[in-house]
């Protein structure tokens, strides 16, 4: 019981660290703590959304919560960077395309929080570098990107 309470407090603290727009629906009960899943375990409508998100630029732009919250890095010196909070805006957005996983250079993992939040991590298999994206099912029942952390050391 105590472990469940600690996990719930941890999830609430993490969720509270980023601003949320009113249209986002984030799970809040302790039985909805995130779990790793493979693509076949994601909600049935997520992968069709995901495929269209990466192939249709207008669809992608329409399914991002602008300004998009996230993280990036900035250099401290010639060998070190630090993470910074960042807002990505439409004017400088570069379309995200599907990653080719067949070479084995990149790996992908998904986490689910309830049935409304999908966390995707894509990382370079040979090094400790990757990116993170968070997608939420909004009140209209459609998926949208709500968080993007660009390629950086993890």
Beta bridge partner(s), residue 30: none
> What is the pLDDT averaged over residues 91-105?
95
> What is the pLDDT averaged over residues 42-52?
97
Cβ(109)–Cβ(36) below 8 Å: yes
- pLDDT, tens digit (0-9, with 9 covering 90-100), for 130-144: 999 999 999 999 999
Q: What pTM does this model have? A: 0.76
Cβ(93)–Cβ(100) below 8 Å: no
- For residue 107, give its domain range: 2-153
Count of structural domains, the chain:
1
Is it the case that residue 12 has pLDDT exceeding 50? no
Is it the case that residue 15 has pLDDT exceeding 80? no
For residues 25 and 83, give the distance between their C-alpha atoms in angstroms, rounded to a whole number: 27
Beta strands in 53-105 (DSSP E): 64-75, 81-88
CATH classification of the domain holding 75: 3.10.450
Q: Name the 3-class secondary structure at 60.
A: helix
């Amino acid at each position: 019981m105590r472990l469940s309470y600690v996990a719930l407090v941890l999830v609430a603290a993490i969720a509270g660290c980023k601003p949320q727009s009113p249209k986002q629906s984030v799970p809040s009960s302790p039985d909805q703590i995130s779990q790793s899943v493979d693509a076949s375990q994601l909600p049935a409508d997520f992968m069709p959304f995901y495929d269209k998100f990466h192939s249709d630029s207008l669809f992608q732009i329409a399914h991002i919560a602008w300004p998009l919250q996230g993280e990036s890095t900035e250099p401290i010196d010639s060998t070190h960077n630090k993470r910074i909070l960042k807002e990505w805006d439409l004017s400088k957005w570069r379309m995200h395309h599907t990653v080719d996983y067949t070479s084995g250079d990149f790996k992908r993992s998904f986490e689910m929080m309830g049935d409304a939040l999908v966390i995707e991590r894509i990382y370079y298999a040979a090094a400790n570098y990757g990116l993170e994206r968070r997608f939420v099912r909004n009140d209209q029942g459609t998926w949208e990107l709500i968080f993007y952390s660009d390629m950086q050391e993890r």
